[in-house]
Each structure stands twice: as structure tokens, then as C-alpha cells.
Amino acid sequence: MDKPFAITLDLGSSLANRTGAWRVERPVYRDFLPPCNKACPAGENIQQWLYDAEDGHYERAWRTLMADNPLPAVMGRVCYHPCQTACNRGQLDEAVGINAVERFLGDEAIRQGWTVPVTAPPSGKHVLVVGSGPTGLAAAYHLRLLGHDVTLRDAAPRPGGMMRYGIPAYRLPRDVLDAEIQRIVDMGVTLELDTRVTTVQPDLERFDAVLLAVGAQIGRRAYVPAGEAARILDAVQVLRDVEDADAPQLGRRVVVYGGGNTAVDAARTARRLGAEEAIIVYRRTRERMPAHDSEVVEALEEGVQMKWLSTIAHADEGRLTIEKMELDETGFPRPTGVLEDLEADSVVLALGQEADLSLVEGVSGLVVEDGVVAVDERLMTGHPGLFAGGDMVPSERTVTVGVGHGKRAARNIDAYLHGVASEAAPPAPDAEFGALNTWYYADAPHQVRPRLEGPRRAGTFDEVVQGLTAETALFEARRCMSCGNCFGCDNCFGVCPDNAIIKHPDGTYEIDYDYCKGCGLCVEECPCGAIEMVPETP
């Protein structure tokens, strides 16, 4: 016995005592579905690319973004960002400016010339995409990444669809649009312009699969009682002519009839074409305008006037008769019989658009309902191998939805070409605001993108909303709370009284269940709610 007096046992570490045996519940790391990702019609993993951007890895962030959306610079300008409406930070101070960061990343990619390589082996399959709008471009991009040959066909002389012929340049500069389209074309897409597909039937034999994404290009006509000399134009045509033909002569006073985004675009365009007054006439109230509020605000800043609760009763040369409306109990507008005169050199109708579906006439199995093509959850029409997406199928008609359709169509076409069912993993459970511990987020106000002053905008198609600088974009990205997904704050590692969290060199964590007593402190103190307690099963 060489132990000191009265010592009979060797010194041991308490590590021999596996206190994990006390546990009745165990903490488990999870990846929940953040509200931004859930709300994104293009299915972007926004939380992940903001995470990548937070430490200044813009290229990595851009590549994460590009996995879902090949048009970030476009989307960072024209998307109505449902992600920001859903953003949990909105319940704390203000939503994260996701859209602005997306634009910054998109612009940075154009500036740096980042490209996406096609690494998949050629599949030997050939897909025709009809329509080079957001749906067609996104589909072509994803199909190329999957190794398929793609022919992208469009009736217009230049690609982009409504992004070029519907969205004015002050919202989407054409050099940005051209750059993002060129990047997709450079991936090996065969682009056929000025080629209208009058009937898709022959192509169904020539290609392994066909995606129709021709959009909704025809302005909806409404009967407006009008004298012969009245000058009545269609908003879709006006916006198109600005882009590809001589600027239309609208006159000094222009009235736009309608309340959607196209109506606002037409009125703001009229101001830029030299109209001294542009007046939007709409049957309901501002609250009920389908146009996005930011667009209405910008239009008002530019001096566009609004006549709500009004309808055009009669149009004549140089003058209109307006009838005042009122809303009934159900919110439907009804005439009041009160008339007033309004001078107008031209009337532009912006009452919605319809799809020209003549190209699918006679296709077996294909069903047209309510003026749009019926598709299943794979975006396939009733005719096998013929898919359709974008504005010509039942959907909310935005660029973002179109990009989302492009991705979905491409994945389902790929599955169809391989003769398998497309596997869609069930979405993770929602990351709830209540699971966050918002104490830990530093107070930080939202960074606002500078805008050109209203009076300086009329008469120029310069871009209205300016971009964030790298500095402000970084700040904005760091406002992300990373809802439901670990962002490496070390709180779990720190607050465990039992040292039962292991921090790995790559910044990930692991729970050492030998010593975790299941107290739940890590769950409670996780800022982003990415840990969950689950009962131990005996």
C-alpha cells in the first residue's frame, strides 16, 4: 500500500458518473422551416443564403441562392417579397430586407462574372421550352443543370417575356435582365427567337418533353362606350411598344383604367413618355387595389393621380365621362349615377391579361379551364410529356411564381424523362416565432434602399430603387434571426451546466448523451429555436 494515510481508493474523475441516466427528455438539434423559405414562391432557401452572406461569403451565398433561382438580380428588383411579409423579425422590429440582399448578391454576381457550370453528364434527352419568360428561363436553367438539351423558343425578337415587355426599365434595367439571361443561355441553351409556335402538336413528336410557358400576353378588353375618335389603347401593347417599337404617342393627359400593377406601370410609363398628367381611374378604393402598395406609393411620388371609386361611362375625343361608384355591403362597387367630365387625350386599358392558347388546340387530353391550361401537381397537362407553367396555368401571376414553376416543371420533367416519380421530401415543421429567444438578437433597425426622388423620376427610365452597398447588405443579412436553424452562437455549448455539448472544429455541435441530464437549458436559451426536447423512450 503506497497510498497516504487513511486513503484507500485511487482518485477518480466524475467522468465515471454517467449522469445522462437521469434524463427523461433529450434535446435534439433540428432544422425547422423558416417562414421566409416557406413563403417563397420560388422555393429559395433564404435562411441559408443569408447565413452564407452574413460572414461576407457572397459567392457562396449566391450559389446557394442559384440552386433555386437563376435570376437573383431580377428578382431582387421585381419580387414582391412574400418572404419579408412572413419574416419573424417583423414581430420584433422590422422584417429583414431579404429582397435588397438578394439584389445585392445578384448584382455582385454580374459584376464579378460568376457562372454556374453544368456538371451533370448529358442525358441525351431534348426538351422544348416555349416562352422565354421567367418560367421558361428558370426551367431551361434547371434542365441544363440536370444534363438535358434545351431549346428555348420565343415569338418575340428578344428573350425575357413579360420581364422585358411588361416590366418597365425603371423597375428592371435591361442590362441586368440581359446579363442574367445571357448567363443561362451560355450554359448551352439553344435560343430560337422570333419563332412563334402556332401549334405545339408537331413538337410533341420531335422532343422528349415540352414545357409551355407562353404567359398571358393579351390585354383583356372591356366594353367602353366610346365615340369613333376616342383614342383607346391597351396597356400591354403600350408597355411592349415602349420596349420594341417607337414610343407610342399618348398625349398630354393620359387616363389609365384599372387598378393592378400593370395599370400603375402604364401610368408611370406615361409620365416618363412626356404626359403632363397621368390619372388612374379605378372602380374601388385604394385598399382594394390589387397593385402592390410600394408601386402605388412610388407612382404617387411621381405625380400620378388616382381617381378611386370611378368608372368610365363614356369616352370621346379629348374627354371622358366618369361615373362615381360606391361599395355595397359586400365590397362590390355599384354605380351611383353621379357623372363628371374628365379631359383625356388617350385612355389606356389595364384590366388584366389573358393567355393565347391557340397553340394547344387539338392536343389530346389537354384541358383548358377558365382560360388557362389545367395541370396536375407535377405541372403536367393531360397530355403525357406536355407540361405547362407560369401565367398560362392557374396561379398568382408574378415573376417569382414563374421562376418557381420553372424549377418545379424542370424537376418533374426530369423525373418523367427518367420514368420515375419525382421525390418531394415532406417539408420540415415550421419555425415558430414563439420558439425563438429574441433576447439574444442585437437591436438593429432595417436598412432602407435609397430611392430617386419622385420629381426627378418623370421623364427618365433610370432605375428608381437603388441598391444596398456591400456594407449595408452585410448589415441587413446579419439581421436574420436564422429561425429554426443553428447559426453557431455557442449558446447551447455555453449554458449547459454539465458540459454535455461538444463543439466540433467545423462549428457544429453534438450532444453528449452520456452526461446530458435533460434540463432543457440549451433549448430554452437557443436564440433561434433549433433545439427540441423529445421524450426518452424506455
Partner 1 sequence: MTTTPVRFYQVGSFAVGNRLLAPELASVQSDPDRANALTSGHRACQGCGEALGARYVLDAAMAAAGGRMVTVNATGCLEVFSTPYPESSWRVPWLHSVFGNAPAVATGVAAALRALGRDDIRTVAQGGDGGTVDIGFACLSGMFERNDDVLYICYDNQAYMNTGVQRSGATPPAARTATTQAVGPHPGNVFGQGKDVPRIAMAHEIPYVATATVADLRDLEAKVAKAMAMHGARYLHVFVPCPLGWGAASSHTVRIARLATESGIFPVFEAEHGEVTSVRKIRRQVPVEEYLRLQGRYAHLFRPTRNEEVLTRLQAAADRNIARYGLLGDDAVPEPASGEPVLVGAAPHLEHPARPSDHHAPSTSAGPGLDLHGNPAPDPRSDPAPRAHEEA
CA distance linking residue 104 with residue 216, whole number of Å: 30
CA distance linking residue 240 with residue 209, whole number of Å: 30
Alpha helix ranges (H) inside 220-378? 235-244, 261-272, 293-301
Q: Contact between 31 and partner 1 (CB under 8 A)?
A: no
Strand ranges (DSSP E) for 216-292? 218-219, 232-234, 253-257, 277-281
Q: Provide, rounded to whole angstroms, the least separation between the CB of residue 503 and partner 1.
A: 4
Contact pattern from residue 56 through residue 95 relative to partner 1, giving x for each residue in contact according to CB under 8 A and a dash for the rest? ------------------------------------x---
Q: Contact between 22 and partner 1 (CB under 8 A)?
A: yes
Between 22 and 332, whose beta carbon lies closer to partner 1?
22
Contact window for partner 1 (CB under 8 A) among 82-90, 165-173, 452-460, 513-521: 513-521
Contact window for partner 1 (CB under 8 A) among 285-293, 298-306, 350-358, 506-514: 506-514
| Set of cell numbers at residue 447 | 436598412
| Set of cell numbers at residue 158 | 428578344
Between 142 and 478, whose beta carbon lies closer to partner 1?
478
Q: Contact between 536 and partner 1 (CB under 8 A)?
A: no
Contact pattern from residue 90 through residue 129 relative to partner 1, giving x for each residue in contact according to CB under 8 A and a dash for the rest? --x-------------------------------------
Q: Contact between 217 and partner 1 (CB under 8 A)?
A: no
Q: Provide, rounded to whole angstroms, the least separation between the CB of residue 82 and partner 1.
A: 23
Give 423's contacts (C-beta < 8 A, 6+ positions apart).
Answer: 415
Q: Contact between 500 and partner 1 (CB under 8 A)?
A: yes
Residue from 79, 479, 484, 511 that binds partner 1 (CB under 8 A)?
Answer: 479
Q: Contact between 535 and partner 1 (CB under 8 A)?
A: no
Between 333 and 527, whose beta carbon lies closer to partner 1?
527
- 368, 360, 379, 373: which is closest to 138 by C-alpha? 379
Between 455 and 507, whose beta carbon lies closer to partner 1?
507
Contact window for partner 1 (CB under 8 A) among 121-129, 323-331, 403-411, 467-475: 467-475
Q: Contact between 538 and partner 1 (CB under 8 A)?
A: no
CA distance linking residue 284 with residue 160, whole number of Å: 32
Q: Contact between 229 and partner 1 (CB under 8 A)?
A: no
Write the single-letter amino acid at 525. E
Q: Contact between 178 and partner 1 (CB under 8 A)?
A: no
- In 10 A of CB 176, how many CB atoms? 21
Q: Contact between 326 and partner 1 (CB under 8 A)?
A: no
Residue from 189, 239, 266, 435 that binds partner 1 (CB under 8 A)?
Answer: 435
Written in H, E and C, the secondary structure of 298-313 is HHHHCCCEEECCEEEE
Report the run of H or E that residue 433 belongs to, with start and end: none
Contact pattern from residue 436 through residue 455 relative to partner 1, giving x for each residue in contact according to CB under 8 A and a dash for the rest? xxxxxxxxxx-x--------
CA distance linking residue 384 with residue 364, whole number of Å: 9
Give 168's contacts (C-beta < 8 A, 6+ positions apart).
Answer: 239, 242, 265, 268, 269, 272, 461
Write the single-letter amino acid at 288. R
Q: Contact between 527 and partner 1 (CB under 8 A)?
A: yes
Q: Contact between 465 and partner 1 (CB under 8 A)?
A: no
Q: Provide, rounded to whole angstroms, the least separation between the CB of residue 15 and partner 1.
A: 5
Residue from 14, 119, 198, 330 that binds partner 1 (CB under 8 A)?
Answer: 14
- 323, 320, 325: which is closest to 342 by C-alpha? 320
Give 466's contacts (C-beta < 8 A, 6+ positions apart).
Answer: 449, 450, 451, 452
| Set of cell numbers at residue 167 | 416590366
> In this structure, are residues 509 and 501 in contact, taking their beta carbons and an 8 Å threshold?
yes
Q: Contact between 26 and partner 1 (CB under 8 A)?
A: no
Using CB under 8 A as the binding rule, the residues of this chain from 399 to 428 that contact partner 1 are: none
Q: Contact between 494 and partner 1 (CB under 8 A)?
A: yes
Contact window for partner 1 (CB under 8 A) among 237-245, 249-257, 329-337, 494-502: 494-502
Give 25's contacts (C-beta < 8 A, 6+ positions apart).
Answer: 518, 520, 533, 534, 535, 536
User: Which residues contact partner 1 (rule: CB under 8 A)?
Assistant: 9-19, 22, 54-55, 92, 434-445, 447, 469, 471-472, 474-475, 478-480, 487-491, 493-500, 503-505, 507, 512, 514-515, 517-521, 523-525, 527
